[in-house]
Amino acid sequence: MDQLFPSVGISVVRIFEKLGHTVDFKESILCCGQPAFNAGFWDESRDIAVRVLQSLSGEGPVVVPSGSCTAMVKNFYPELFRARSEAAVAEQLSRRTFEFSSFLVDQLGVTDLGSRFPARVTFHDGCHGLRELQIKRQPRLLLERVKDLTLVEMEDQTSCCGFGGTFAVKFPMISTAMGETKSASALSTEAEYLVSNDSSCLMHLQGLLNRQNKKLKTVHLAEVLASY
């Protein structure tokens, strides 16, 4: 997000500040350790995660604009540190970590941000947000309140886009086939924008769409909500 999609972070900051909250960004954190974790390298993953635990110590809520990274911290950190000295800290962090859209809707009780985004859009659920965190309702509630925005659901809306981290480069043929199916569903809605709460899915899909010279643009939910 930092290097490839800074506008997502900027949008998140703008939204919370508009709502009157203060935001802090931990410059010491680069990654949650999920790539190593998913590849089976749990020691290397812990090496990264330990420092995340240290940087994020404290009490306030931690909001992450990616279902996938949220799931890592919220669901997998406790498993990664099970029966280790950091277990309690990991559990504590897990409890106060939230995915961006669910934080807005479930914690702050906000659905209308006064945003305006005049376009026809379709929404892709990142799998981790959807199935690890059961986030499906929240982004839709938020999108429904955006002025001049038309939300069109695509066929097989909950199926995976095929990114899957290192899977995308280890098994590019399968990942591509999945992405093709997904982008075909998105294209057939005739939307102008493909919105998601996960940048990694969008990076994969945008890469495919660009290669196929399609006009459909991908954009993160936060960027839509930060448009006025």
Partner 1 sequence: MSFTFASKFKIQATKVTADLDHRAKIRAALKSYETARDERKAQYQDWQAARHGAASIKWESLNHLDAYLVDFVTKLSARGTKVFWAGNAQEARDYIVALAKEKRAHTIIKSKTMTSEEIHLNEALRQAGYEVVESDLGEFIVQLRGEAPYHLVFPAMHLTRHEISDLFHEKLHSAPSEHPEELTMIARKELRFKYIQADIGISGANFGIAETGMISITENEGNGRLTTALPKVHVALMGIEKVIPRLSDLALFLPLLATAGTGQQITCYNSLIGGPRQSDEPDGPDEFHLVLLDNNRTQLLADAEQRDALHCIRCGACLNACPIFRNVGGHTYGTTYQGPIGSVITPHLRGLMDWKHLSYASSLCGACTEVCPVKINLHHHLLHNRRNAVASRPDPSERAAFRLFAFLTRYPGLVNRLARISRPLVPFVRVVKPILPAPIKGWLSSRDLPKIARESFRDYWKKR
Partner 2 sequence: MNEGKREAILGRIREAVRVAAPRPHEGSGRYDSNAIEVPQTSREWLPSVPLDAEGRLNLFREKCSQLRTEFRFLSGQEGAAAALADLRNKQKWTVLGSHHHPMLDPLVQSLGLETLYVEQHPQSKSLERCSVGITACDALIAQTGSILLTARSAGGRALSVLPPHHVVVASVDQLLPDLPAAFELLYEKYGDNYPSFATLITGPSRTGDIERILVLGAHGPRDLTIILLGTNA
Residues lying near partner 1 in the complex (CB under 8 A) are found at 1-10, 25, 27-31, 33, 35-42, 44-45, 47-48, 51, 127-128, 130-132, 158-160, 162-179, 181, 203-204, 206-208, 210-211
Using the rule CB under 8 A, give the single segment among 15-23, 25-33, 71-79, 98-106 that binds partner 2: 71-79
184 contact, one of partner 1, partner 2, none, CB 5-8 Å limit per kind: none
Tokens of 186: 């998105």
Using the rule CB under 8 A, give the single segment among 54-62, 74-82, 182-190, 217-225 that binds partner 2: 74-82
**Contact assessment for residue 93 and residue 31, using Cβ atoms and an 8 Å cutoff:** no
Among 47, 79, 144, 155, binds partner 2 (CB under 8 A): 79
Distances (CA, A) of 147 to 109, 160, 188, 197, 218: 19, 28, 23, 19, 19
Nearest approach in angstroms of CB 167 to partner 1 is 5
Angle at 149 between CA 107 and CA 143, to 5 degrees: 15
* Total residues at interface with partner 2 (CB under 8 A): 5
Which residues fall within 8 angstroms of residue 159, CB to CB, at 6 or more apart?
178, 181, 182, 185
Nearer to partner 2, 18 or 96 (CB): 96
67 interacts with partner 2 by CB under 8 A: no
Nearest approach in angstroms of CB 50 to partner 1 is 10
86 interacts with partner 2 by CB under 8 A: no
Nearest approach in angstroms of CB 53 to partner 2 is 18
181 interacts with partner 2 by CB under 8 A: no
What is the DSSP secondary structure assignment for residue 59, as one 8-state letter?
S
Nearer to partner 2, 95 or 116 (CB): 95
78 interacts with partner 2 by CB under 8 A: yes
What is the C-alpha to C-alpha distance for residues 217 and 226, in angstroms, rounded to an integer? 17
Q: How many helices (H) and strands (E) does the chain have?
A: 13, 6
Q: At what angle do helices 42-55 and 87-95 cross, to 10 degrees?
A: 60
Backbone angles phi, psi at 124, to 5 degrees: -110, 125
**Residues contributing to the site for partner 2 (CB under 8 A):** 75, 78-79, 132, 134
